[in-house]
Amino acid sequence: MNILEVIARKLNLHKHVSEKSDQHAIYASLNTIENLLFAIFKIIVAAVYLSGWFLIFGVYYLIMFITRCIFLHLYTKQRINNSSYAQREYLIVGGLFYVVLGGVLSTICLYMYRFGGSQNYSKTIMLIIATLGFVKIISSIVGLVRSRNLKNPLIMYLKSLNVIDGLLAIVITQYAILSTQHAPNASTSTGIFGLVIGLIILLIGVFILIKNIKNKDLTI
C-alpha cells in the first residue's frame, strides 16, 4: 500500500462511498498521482546524472500515467451513464493498451540490451530507487489481490497496471544496483530481464484481444 492510500484510509474516505468499485477507483486515482510523481522523479534523476535510461523510463512512467487517466475517464463515464453494456469493449481497449505498454517496454529493453552502457549513481540514489521499487511491487500485489472479486474490468485493469508498475520498478532497481556496483553486464542483464517482462505483458494483451474479439463475433 502506498503513502497516498494510507492517507486516504486514515481519513476514512472509503466510508463516504458505498460502491466497492468506486472505492477502488478513488485509490486508483491516488496511484495515478503517485505515477506522475515517479515520472517526475525519474526525469530529475536523468537530468542530474545525464542518464538517458532514466529519462526513457521517466517517459514510460508518463505513458503509464496517461493510460491510468484514460481508464479512470472511461470508468467515470461508465458510472455517470450507469451503463454496463460496453464491458467487452472495455476489455478490448484494455488488451490493446497492454499490447502497447508491453511493446514499448520490450523495445526499450531490447535497445538497452544491444546498445546500453552502465551508469554510476550515488548510493543514496540507489537506496531510494531500491526502496521505492520493493514498496511498489508489494503494494501492487496487495492491491490486485484485494480487487480480485470485482467484476468491473476497468478497475481490474487499473489494479493490474500497478503490477506492471511494480515490475518496471524491479527493472529500474536492478539497473541502478548493478550500475552502482560497476557491473559490466548492468545493461545487458537488465535489458534481457525487462525484455522478458515486456513480452509477457504484450502476450497477455494479445490473449485478451483474441479472446474478447472472438467472443464479440460469436454474439453478433
Tens of pLDDT along 117-157? 666 667 777 777 777 777 777 777 776 676 666 667 777 77
**For residue 205, pLDDT beyond 80:** yes
Q: Which domain holds residue 169?
A: 3-9+21-78+88-215
Q: In the numeric block, which cell numbers belong to residue 51?
A: 542518464
Residue 14 lies in a domain: no
d(CA 81, CA 40): 34
- Asked if residues 141 and 166 have their Cβ atoms less than 8 Å apart, the reply is yes
Report the share of the chain in percent with pLDDT over 90.
4
d(CA 64, CA 165): 8
Q: What is the pTM of this model?
A: 0.73
Helix 153-180, helix 52-81: angle, nearest 10: 170
Lowest mean pLDDT among 9-18, 41-50, 128-137, 167-176: 9-18
Residue that the C-alpha cell 517517459 belongs to? 59
Lowest mean pLDDT among 16-25, 78-87, 99-108, 137-146: 16-25
Residue 220 lies in a domain: no
Q: In the numeric block, which cell numbers belong to residue 37?
A: 510523481
Average pLDDT on 81-106 reads 78
State the pLDDT at residue 199.
92
**For residue 7, pLDDT beyond 70:** no
pLDDT greater at residue 109 or residue 117: 109
Helix spans in the chain (H)? 3-10, 20-49, 52-81, 87-115, 123-146, 153-180, 186-219
Predicted confidence band at 103 (pLDDT cuts at 50, 70, 90)? very high
Helix 52-81, helix 87-115: angle, nearest 10: 180
d(CA 92, CA 129): 34
Q: In the numeric block, which cell numbers belong to residue 196?
A: 522478458
Residue 44 lies in a domain: yes
Could you read off the pLDDT of 70-93 as tens digits, one per residue? 888 887 777 767 655 566 677 788
Residue 16 lies in a domain: no
Number of domains making up the chain: 1
Residue 83 lies in a domain: no
Average pLDDT on 20-35 reads 71
Report the share of the chain in percent with pLDDT over 70.
74
- Asked if residues 172 and 198 have their Cβ atoms less than 8 Å apart, the reply is no
Residue 129 lies in a domain: yes
State the pLDDT at residue 153.
73
Number of C-beta neighbours around residue 115 at 10 A: 9
Lowest mean pLDDT among 37-41, 114-118, 183-187: 114-118
Residue 51 lies in a domain: yes
Question: Residue 121: in which H helix or E strand, if any?
Answer: none
Residue 176 lies in a domain: yes
d(CA 211, CA 94): 12
